[in-house]
Copies of this chain bind each other. A is one copy, B any other.
Amino acid sequence: MPELLDLCPPDEAWRIFREHFDPQVAAERLPVREALGRVLAEDLSAPHDLPTFPRCAMDGYAVRAADTYGASPGLPAYLDVVGEVLMGEAPTLEIGLGQCALVHTGCMLPSGADAVVMVEVTQPVDERSIEVLKPVAEGENVIQVGEDVRRGDAVLPAGHRLRPQDLGGLLALGITAVSVARRPRVAILSQGDELVEPEQEPRPGQVRDINSATLAALVEQAGGIPLRRGIVGDDLEALRQAAEAALTQADVLVMSAGSSVSARDMTAQVINGLGQPGVLVHGVSVRPGKPTILAVCDGKPVFGLPGNPVSAVNAFRLFVTPAIHLLQGGQPSPPRAVPARLARNVASATGRQDHVPVRLEERDGETWAVPIFGKSNLIYTLIRADGELIVPLDSGGMAEGEMVTVFLY
């Protein structure tokens, strides 16, 4: 019973999956203060101008600009100080010809004035008057009504992932709650007769289940909520029941299959029973991660990842992370990547996309990518690595000294 997978290139696998997966974004309303990193589910526009009143952008004097024209240190303009505008108050005073008022950065520009002279270019004459040593133009050092945002302006679109400054910008407009995509619930099921919980002491022949924790962490990183559904043995009926129950409660189901071919075949069989159309792709030309299953069951994405933890991580990043992003209606952040010089030759088979873990080393002011040796099923190859480089499908490898892009973990 050799494994006869009809391997599909990763791009093609994703295309087939996308043809059958029509992501529905479910929204929930959240206080803006709690919405960092969440994806907007509505287009937002400004309910009013910002600022709502003309604001002084400098400490100094609010003036009529025309009163300062031609002013110089040799021939200053003399202005009467008619008062002070306090922070947070609407000034009652009015600036007339030849008059000015003391103002502070951020306060309201009094009516009659159309510019602010910086305090640095003034000199006090007495308690009631100043000299202005330099002219200001109309509007200078003033933030006009609506200069930041105009009422009705589009401010942030649906699909935008909220950053710190976005929270501030929304609150500035009095938008204190927003509709964001609900975090997709991703059920994780580990399959394998050899698996025990990490807290248990494995007997000879047993190993601790680490995929549950690793994949749950990847779900969190992608913005989802992991639902850990534990370990199921390589038993068709038990697996079917566990998978059905998990999928009912979740938006996505991720099964990390047993390690052997027969266990993986069982996974495919169970997935096909979960809904239509079922398994779409079984086997992807990527290393590690070849025996990956992509499926859609009655509208929900279901993934059968390899039992080997390194393969499971790689296949998750390639397919599950983007699916979780789609369910949020947003684009993923671009990966952190750095250029580096390859420290050794990396061989690869044409027709296969290879993900090679590398360590970064600084040598003489240059960054080198050092491939990590070890079989692709050793989890510590990923732990000793800072990131990975990708050898494309059509490449036979990369040469020592070549510049490569390292995608940081």
Residues of chain A touching chain B, judged by Cβ–Cβ distance below 8 Å, are 1-3, 32-33, 36, 50-53, 55, 57, 59, 86-91, 104-108, 119-120, 143, 147-149, 155-156, 163-169, 171-172, 174, 176, 192-195, 198-199, 201-211, 213-218, 220-221, 234, 258-263, 307-309, 313, 333-334, 336, 338, 374-375, 377-380, 382-383, 408-409
Contact = CB atoms under 8 A, between A and B. Distances in A.
Nearest to A60: B2
A163 B202 CA distance: 24
A167 to B, nearest CB: 5
Nearest to A333: B336
Given A57-B375, A380-B155, A210 B104 contact: no
A261 B382 CA distance: 52
Given A172-B208, A208-B172, A211-B168, A194 B106 contact: yes
Nearest to A50: B380
A363 to B, nearest CB: 18
A120 B2 contact: yes
A79 to B, nearest CB: 17
Contacts of A2: 119-120
A179 B393 CA distance: 42
A207 to B, nearest CB: 7
How many subunits of this chain does the assembly comprise? 2
A32 B107 CA distance: 51
Given A50-B380, A168-B214, A263-B104, A203 B313 contact: no
A1, A164, A215, A262: most-surrounded residue (chain B CB, <10 A): A164
A25 to B, nearest CB: 22
Nearest to A119: B2
Closest 3 CB pairs of A and B: A106-B259, A104-B260, A164-B217
Nearest to A162: B217
Contacts of A108: 204-205
Given A107-B260, A168-B214, A333-B408, 5 more contacts: A87-B205, A88-B206, A90-B205, A106-B207, A167-B213
A89, A259, A383: most-surrounded residue (chain B CB, <10 A): A383
A214 B167 contact: yes
A337 to B, nearest CB: 8
Contacts of A202: 52
Contacts of A258: 87, 106
28 contacts: A2-B120, A36-B220, A57-B375, A59-B260, A90-B203, A105-B261, A106-B207, A106-B259, A147-B374, A148-B374, A156-B383, A163-B409, A164-B214, A165-B214, A165-B382, A165-B409, A166-B383, A167-B217, A168-B309, A169-B210, A171-B198, A172-B198, A172-B207, A174-B198, A333-B408, A334-B338, A334-B408, A336-B336
Contacts of A211: 168
A150 to B, nearest CB: 10
Contact of A168 (B52, B57, B210): B210
B205 A165 contact: no
Contact of A375 (B147, B149, B309): B147
A90, A333, A377: most-surrounded residue (chain B CB, <10 A): A377
Contacts of A106: 192, 194, 207, 258-260, 307-308
Nearest to A316: B164
A219 to B, nearest CB: 9
A396 to B, nearest CB: 23
Contacts of A143: 375, 377-378
A168 B379 contact: yes
B409 A221 contact: no
Nearest to A210: B168
Contacts of A120: 2
Given A32-B213, A382-B165, A174 B201 contact: yes
Contact of A193 (B86, B167, B382): B86
